[in-house]
Each structure stands twice: as structure tokens, then as C-alpha cells.
Structure 1
Amino acid sequence: MNRHAAATLLTAVLLVIAGCSAPTANPTPNTGPGTASPTDPSSPTATPTEPPTATATSTDAPTPTATPTPAGGVTVYGDLSVNATLVWEHVVASLDGEYETPIVSVRDTSLPAQAGSFATQLGLDEGLERFDEGRIRASYSRQTGRVRISPRNGSTAQVTRILAHEYVHAVQSQRYRSNRSSLVGQATERESFGIRRALVEGSAVYVEDAYTRQFLGFSAIERRCAEYRNGTAYERYAGQAYCFGGQYFSSQLDSPSELLSSNVTLPNTTEQLLHPGTSDPPANLTVVDETPADWSTPASYPRRGELFVRTVLGTELPEDRAIEAAAGWGNDRVVRVSRDTEGYVWVLRWDTADDAAEFENAFAEYLDAPGNRTADGWRVDDDRYRLTTVDDRTIAVVTGNETFVDSVSVTGEGGNVTVAGES
């Protein structure tokens, strides 16, 4: 696994609805019409945010190849193999409302796949370089009100499915503008990047699934989750919010018409997302930065959540083992330090001592797969990894170059953790 960190450009979270860059492989539909390339919210210069989104550019301008449409229909710039207006009408009918019709721009371009620096450090970039091969990509731009799509060689069913997903984001955008307590508005109030993304994308997947079941004869959620389980590490990373977000809404709602109600109760963590009915708040966890002044650390430490833990472990361990080891998650924080090179301290607080021990054992197995175990941790390519037992319920993963890992200490008790180091 390539463990070298790569900086990523982050954008405002409210543009989450525009960032779908849909991956659907040919000939078998991927878990991702609408799957965005998730970026890393651990940058010291940005808050947890979403992937780069489509913006107004000269390539979005009307062209002579525009497809004529009836009054009130969807205008398509470029060649599209599906009836864009009919798909829009079906989506809007399922959501039970009237909305401004978007414009569709067909372009043979897409945003590049990305992995955040911390995700890369944990091997979730494996398969990234092949992610775009033969895939349909699409996104919705809140600024321009346009869906941009690159159909490539996708089948009619694949293109239809992606278009339906992006249309949901168009509706979400309009609902958010008119009602800040809408699903998107509630989602953006969540602290965790992972839960925000799962709610916005998962709700679109739920509508997409209703569409594919009714008109295309298959379940989009089932196909998304199959690719999550069977895909590369990067496909798991990119697709986690879509699979489990879609499953959550499918388990809680009877029809898409209920989705846009302000009365919909949303989970606050991915633990609650994975276990509907669970209402436990995150466990108490305070991380204090006492690293040297010449070390650069972010002002806030983002939470990753149970779903991220499961996804990481599942890249090397059997899925049932990853699920078991991630259960019992209580809270976590990531501290990113920039010195000669980047380093990370991932502090995880568990519900019980047994849960903490189970995670520690599983993470050791996860590191054994690509790495070499030494007396002081693991070596994976040029990076070092060390597991530290902070107290009976708190485990810290320390990773980076050798100098960083050797100089960092993590101490604490009862969920009060101090990260320190030597210059």
C-alpha cells in the first residue's frame, strides 16, 4: 500500500450536494453513480469539508449540440442516450413537489479521484489510480444549477441511474435554499465529515434505489454495497457513505416522499447510522496538544467515526472481523502534525476495555498484512506505525516518519489525552 501523504484541496461543506463525481464501472454498475472522491478534513488550514465540486466554467456554456426540449423540460447540452426530462419527472414525482428544472451538460471530463492525506496514510488510496477507468462520472453544481455528466460507454440504465442521483442533489439544493431545516441543512450541522457525507449522499442513493427498483429492475443500494465489500481500498473509501447512508434511509423511511420533511430524525454519528435506534452520544474524549511550538498542528481535531474504522480494517481483514472490531466505538480524534513530514496521532476511545483490546488486536493484524513488525511497532514502506495503550479504554495510533513516531508521546486517563513531543 502506498502510505505517502498527499495534500488535497478542500471546499465548503454546503457544496456537498454538488460533489458527486459519480463512479460507475462498465459493464457492471459500480457502487457509485454519485460517489465523490472523499477528501481529508484534517488539514490545519481548513475545516472538515467535502470534495471539489463542479463550478461554472466556460465549458458549461450552451453549445450548438443542445437537445431541443419542450417547455418546462430539461435542456441537455451534448449527446445523451436517455430522456433527461422523463428521468427528472420521475424523480420529482417520487419526492412529491415542484422544483426548478436543472440543465444537463454532457462533457467528456471529470474531477480527478482523490484521497485525503490521513486516508492515504492508512492505505485507503490503493486502487485510486485505476478508479476512473471506464467509469461514468457526474456532479451537480449548486452555483450553476447544472448536472455535468461524462457518460463514456455507459449503458442506458447506468446513465439513467446516475442522472436520477444527481437530480436528487438538485432538489436538495433548492430545498436548502428555501428551508434551512431541510435534510441538507440538518446534515451540515453535524460535526463529523463522515456523517454529513453519509446523510446527503445516502439520501440521494435511497431515492436512486427507489427509481432503479421501479424502472430498471434492480436495487442500486445492493449494487453499491456489493462493490463496497468487494472493491479496492479506495472503492471502499469512496463508496462507504453511499452504501451505508442508503441502507440507513431505506430502513427508516417508507417512501422517498418522506425524505424532505423537516421532521425526519437524523443520526449524529456514523455509529448511529450503522445501528439505527442507537442514541448513545460520543464518549467523553478530550485531546490536548502540547507538542513543541515549531510543530504545526490544526486548531481542531476531526472525528472519523465507526464507519471509517470499519472501512480501514476491512481493507486487510475479513469483513465480519472488521465489523466486530469497529463495534464498541465510542469516540475518536485525529491530530495532524507537520514537521519535516506529516505525522498523525489517531486517538480512539472505546465503550469498554474489551472493545479497546479487540480494536488493538485487529489493528495489529491490519498492519501485519502490508508491514513488517518490529520491537517498536511496524514499518510499511517508508512509514512507521505504533500502537499506544493510553488507558484501558483508549488506544492511540501514531504514524509518520521515524523521527516523528519516536518523538511523540500520548498519555492520559479517563478520556483526557495529551499529545506531546520533543523538538
Structure 2
Amino acid sequence: MRRRLGALALAVLLVTAGCVGAPTPQQFEPGGEDPTATGLDPTPTSNPPPDPETDRLGWEDGYWHNETLDVDPSDGLNRSELDAVVARGMARVEAIRGLEFEEPVPVEIIDRATFRNRSLSDSNHSTAQRLHQNVKFEATFFLGEDESAIQQRSANTASAVMGYYAPGNHSITIVSDSGPPLQLNEVTLAQELFHAVQESTFEVSKLSGDTEERHNAKLGIIEGDGNYVDYLYEKRYSEALVMPDGSGGGGGDSSTHLGMLALRLQPYSDGPVFVESIRQQSGWAGVNAVYDRPPESTEQTIHPERYPDNKPRHVIVQDRSGPDWSVPDQGEGAIDYAQFGEGGLYVMLWYPSHVETTERNEVTDVVVPYRHFFRTEDPLDMYNYSHPATTGWAGERLVPYVRNDSAATNETGYVWKIAWESNSDAREFQAAYEELLDYHGASAVEGLSDTYRIDEGKFADAFRVTRSGSTVTIVNAPTVEELDAVHAT
């Protein structure tokens, strides 16, 4: 299922969500190239040419891509109006991307409350799966050991998703934050229409990622292409768009975890820049070829020049746990480790600055400065995920460990091994991570090198942080005495 997220717009006193991949429209430079596949004239017209004898790019179901529509979106769209907007949207996606729709795509519009009721489900997850997810997000200092990662992710989804395409039944659902009556955001519709033709052309539902890192890497092309099409769509057809009244917005609310949301937004921000860089080098044909060789890491989309040659390393964590600790078994076919990649490590180091800035109502820097996340010059690149402390990521493996009583006590551990391109990259990350520990109240344990303890709070635990050449290894356990039981030295 391809989901369109609301944009993460953070300010000192206000958190809102809007449209990802839809920066402020900018006009084409005089004489500049129209970066679309067909070069069709986008000038709106109320007198379009006759329907073609056979289907062609830029025309769908009786509507041309630049045809004006007699619809009033302020009172919602009736069935015939929605059908017209959808048909024209399909024609516009074709005109931009040069991919032909082979069949119609059913579209429904629902309100946020209906979508939230569909999304907020914490069922069908085993104890091992819950523990695995909880350990992951405790390791990033996003959630405490008594908080549910699965519930929080569901809450984020319920608040941030603006629309989605379901390949199983080839249908689109748009989530409206306006109304009644429910209003349509045509740019949101455009991306979901693109995901429909993307699936029929490239079968992107087969491009699965089994860790946060691999998932975001694959979304670098999937959502990157979709958001790039959005960007071109809004620029090209800005004079004739069906949009909600007012400023619009996502469904962001107080239940949204901005750290977890920032992690999910990485491919929506860096992906369009990655796609544009490929298109500039080799055209849309080059972008199409990426689906046969999708990005393997978020590093490759944060730094497009590193695609495809700079491949992630295969990192191994040897099991050196004692008899009381084991890796949770998530079932047949499931992996037993996690990865966050360069994008995830960046958010981990930036997130405390967001927390402090929000709580103090003034910009406050902790590890990665608060404003660094928003320091981008490219209108496509909404957020910045590149920082010296995380640049040079080469591979990782985070292995959760639990005891028989972990489900009841929430006491868990992990071994997190992160490889870097150089010794200096590893040292820089280690120093930044130790700043993160210091922020959370960690103190060095007397008589033990590289060992820290957080005595109280939701992250109260013991940590051992070591570096061997270009590799940093973090071991976590409930107490200092249990560090060796999780991973013996």
C-alpha cells in the first residue's frame, strides 16, 4: 500500500502537517526545459480538441490534461465531478510521466475520523513482534521501555496519511481534513494516481524492505518518483487545480511522534531529489531503470552521487549472550535484527533538539542543531538528513535481546553494531552518541571503561559504547552487571 504522508512542518510554538512533495510552485524559467515526458502544453483551455480515436498520453476517459472543468469544490464533489477530476488527473500524470493508464482507478474520499478508526489497531502482533519493535525505538531514544512502538506508529499513521493506493484491489482512498462537505486535494490525488500506474508498470509492491533502513531505501524511488511527479504536477497545472478551501493540512495532532514521523519522511524528502538527479543524467528512461536496481540504503538517496556503487556492508553481530537472554523469535521468515541507516541515525541525534525547542518555546540545540533539519536550498528537498556525525555510514545491525519476563517487566537489551567508512567517521559518531547519552542523564561508571548508566527516567539503563577501528558497538542492558550477560566482552 502506497501512502501519502502529510509534510512535517515544525516551528517553535506550532506543529502542523501539510503536503509532502508539494513545495511552493515555481514557474518555469524562460526558455527552460519542460521536465516532463511528453512536452504537452499545460495552458488551461475550455475548448479542448476532440477526443482522439484511440487512447493516447495526456487524455483519459473523455478529458484532456489541460481541460478546464466546471466543478465547484467548495461544496464537495458529486460523483460526476469526482469522475471528471480523476480522469483529468490521470491524463495529467500521463502527460508528465509518460506512463499510460490501462484501466480506470476507483477513488473514494473519507474523513479523518473514519481513517483513524480504520488505522488504530494494535491487534495481530505477537509478543515477540511487540518486543522487537519496542527495543528498536527505545534504542533511538524515541520511546521509553513502557511505551508501545506499534501503537505509536498506528497513531502517527492515523494523523499523517493524506491518501493511499491499495494495489490489492486497485483503488485509491483520499483522506480529507476538511468538511463536511469533504473536499479533495488534487495534488494528493495526483500522487495516488501515479502510484496506481507505477504499480501496473513496475510492480513496486514487490520491492519490499524488511528493516526501517531497507524500507526507506526502496521508498526513495517509489515515493521519490511520486513526490517528484507531484512537484511537477503542481508547477505545471497551478492555474487549474481542485484544492480544499483554506490552507489545507494534514491530520497532525498531539498524538503524533515527530521523531518517528521524521524517520518516515526521509524518502519523501530526499527521494524526489534523488529522482531528479537521475532524470537530469539520463531522462525518464534512467528513472524507469532504477526500479530494476532500487536504492539499497538511505545513504544513496541522501547522497545521490553514491548510487548505485556505494553499497552497504553486511554487518554481523555474534551472539555472546548468557542463558537468561535471547533474541525474540518473530516467526518463520522474519528477520531478528533492525537497521535505521544514515537517515535514522540522523533523526536520533536531531530529535532531542526538537524536544527541547518545543518544551522551552525557543530554539534549543542538543546534538544536531534544531534548525539544521530545515536547512535546505532545493525546493524539492524539504528536510536535511545529512550531518557530519552520520555521514560515512556503511552498514549496521541492531539485535534486540529479551528475558523470559521482558513482556511483563519491559526490561530488554540490545547489541547495535554500526560500521563506518573510516575511523574518523566512527569517532565522530561515537562522540555525538555520547553527547546523546549525556543529554539523557548518563554518567560514566567508575572503574569500567566505555560504560555509562542512566539512573532514572524512561531510558534508565546501562550502556557500553566501544569503537574498534571504523566500527562502533553499543551494548544495552537494564543494569551494568547485565551488560556482559547480553553481550560478553
**Fold-level match, TM-score > 0.5?**
yes
Are residues 1:200 and 2:217 paired? Answer: no
Are residues 1:164 and 2:200 paired? Answer: no
The residue number in structure 1 matching 2:348 is: 312
1-side partners of 2:210 and 2:156: how far apart? 31
In 2, are the aligned partners of 1:388 and 1:395 still within 8 Å (CA)? yes
Residues 103 and 357 of structure 1: CA distance in aligned 2, closer, same or farther (over 3 Å): same
2-side partners of 1:121 and 1:185: how far apart? 29
Instruction: Note the alpha carbon deviations across 1:340-361, whole angstroms, 9 max, x for none.
Output: 2332221111122211111011
The residue number in structure 2 matching 1:381 is: 457
Q: Which residue type is aligned with residue 266 of structure 2? A: Q
1-side partners of 2:81 and 2:143: how far apart? 33
Instruction: Note the alpha carbon deviations across 1:389-412, whole angstroms, 9 max, x for none.
Output: 141322122335x24x642349xx
The residue number in structure 2 matching 1:148 is: 173
1-side partners of 2:386 and 2:88: how far apart? 42
Q: Helix, strand or coil for the counterpart of 2:388?
A: helix
Are residues 1:94 and 2:96 paired? Answer: yes
2-side partners of 1:157 and 1:212: how far apart? 18
Match of 1:359 among 429, 437, 454: 429
- Once the two structures are overlaid, the 10-residue window that deviates more, 301-310 or 352-361, is 301-310
Q: Which residue type is aligned with residue 168 of structure 1? A: F
**Which aligned pairs between 1:10-409 and structure 2 lie closer than 5 A?**
18-20=1-3, 22-23=5-6, 30=18, 32=20, 83-99=85-101, 100-108=103-111, 109-110=114-115, 111-112=119-120, 116-117=133-134, 118-124=136-142, 137-153=162-178, 159-177=185-203, 185=206, 192-216=214-238, 232-254=258-280, 259-261=287-289, 266-278=294-306, 279-283=309-313, 285-297=315-327, 298=329, 300-316=336-352, 317-318=368-369, 319=372, 323-339=387-403, 340=406, 341-375=411-445, 376-379=451-454, 381-383=457-459, 384-399=461-476, 402-403=478-479, 406-409=481-484
In 2, are the aligned partners of 1:77 and 1:106 still within 8 Å (CA)? no
**TM-score (ref. length: structure 1):** 0.67
Q: Which residue type is aligned with residue 106 of structure 2? A: I
Residues 211 and 156 of structure 1: CA distance in aligned 2, closer, same or farther (over 3 Å): farther
The alpha-carbon deviation at position 87 of structure 1 amounts to 1.6
Instruction: Note the alpha carbon deviations across 1:13-36, whole angstroms, 9 max, x for none.
Output: xxxxx14153258997635479xx
The alpha-carbon deviation at position 333 of structure 1 amounts to 0.4
Residues 306 and 336 of structure 1: CA distance in aligned 2, closer, same or farther (over 3 Å): same
2-side partners of 1:373 and 1:235: how far apart? 30
2-side partners of 1:161 and 1:187: how far apart? 26
In 2, are the aligned partners of 1:206 and 1:256 still within 8 Å (CA)? no
Q: CA RMSD in A?
A: 4.3
Q: Which residue type is aligned with residue 393 of structure 2? A: W
The alpha-carbon deviation at position 215 of structure 1 amounts to 2.0
Q: Helix, strand or coil for the counterpart of 1:334?
A: strand
Q: Between Structure 1 and Structure 2, whose CA radius of gyration is higher?
A: 2
- Once the two structures are overlaid, the 10-residue window that deviates more, 104-113 or 92-101, is 104-113
1-side partners of 2:481 and 2:82: how far apart? 56
Residues 285 and 28 of structure 1: CA distance in aligned 2, closer, same or farther (over 3 Å): closer
Q: How many residues matched?
A: 343
In 2, are the aligned partners of 1:22 and 1:33 still within 8 Å (CA)? no
Q: Helix, strand or coil for the counterpart of 1:332?
A: strand
In 2, are the aligned partners of 1:33 and 1:162 still within 8 Å (CA)? no
Residues 351 and 262 of structure 1: CA distance in aligned 2, closer, same or farther (over 3 Å): closer
In 1, are the aligned partners of 2:3 and 2:164 still within 8 Å (CA)? yes
2-side partners of 1:72 and 1:268: how far apart? 41
Q: Helix, strand or coil for the counterpart of 1:382?
A: coil
Residues 307 and 132 of structure 1: CA distance in aligned 2, closer, same or farther (over 3 Å): closer
2-side partners of 1:309 and 1:78: how far apart? 48
1-side partners of 2:143 and 2:223: how far apart? 21
Residues 374 and 168 of structure 1: CA distance in aligned 2, closer, same or farther (over 3 Å): same
Q: Which residue type is aligned with residue 6 of structure 2? A: P
